[in-house]
Amino acid sequence: MAEETRKKAHEEKPLEKFTVKELRAIAMEIPHSTAVSDMKKAELVAFIKEARGIKDKAPVGEKRHVARLKLTKAELKAKIRELKGARLQALEARDGKTAKDVRRRISRLKKKSRSAAGT
């Protein structure tokens, strides 16, 4: 009975959630011409999915990178000045949370402007 429970759990669990040991055991059951023991986890998952005829919507492990706009040093400094004004307004309104958030944004922009100085 315990074996049946384990088998059901294996069938319901997606391949990405298996350990490398479990994936190798599954891959060994599939007739193959390559060395399964040398494969990494992503390769094992792809091999098993290909053998079972499973199609992926998107490749596993690859994320889409959103292109960020690089601001020039002058634009960064202008944004810092703008945020300093917003921070003063928040302090006058006794809104500590907003002032703290704006201070952090200013700090991050200052770090960016220092790194942009070399470019």
**What pLDDT sits at residue 113?**
87
Residue 48 within any structural domain of the chain: yes
Residue 66 within any structural domain of the chain: no
Q: Are residues 86 and 45 in the same domain?
A: no
Q: Give the pTM.
A: 0.42
Q: For residue 113, what are the contacts with CB-CB under 8 A and spacing of at least 6?
A: 73, 76, 77, 80
Residue 110 within any structural domain of the chain: yes
Number of structural domains in the chain = 2
- Spell out, as residue ranges, where the chain has pLDDT lower than 70: 1-12, 57-68, 117-119
Q: Are residues 37 and 79 in the same domain?
A: no
Domain housing 89: 73-116
Query: Which tokens is 25 given?
Result: 């055991």
Nearest Cα residue to 51 out of 18, 28, 17: 28
Residue 65 within any structural domain of the chain: no
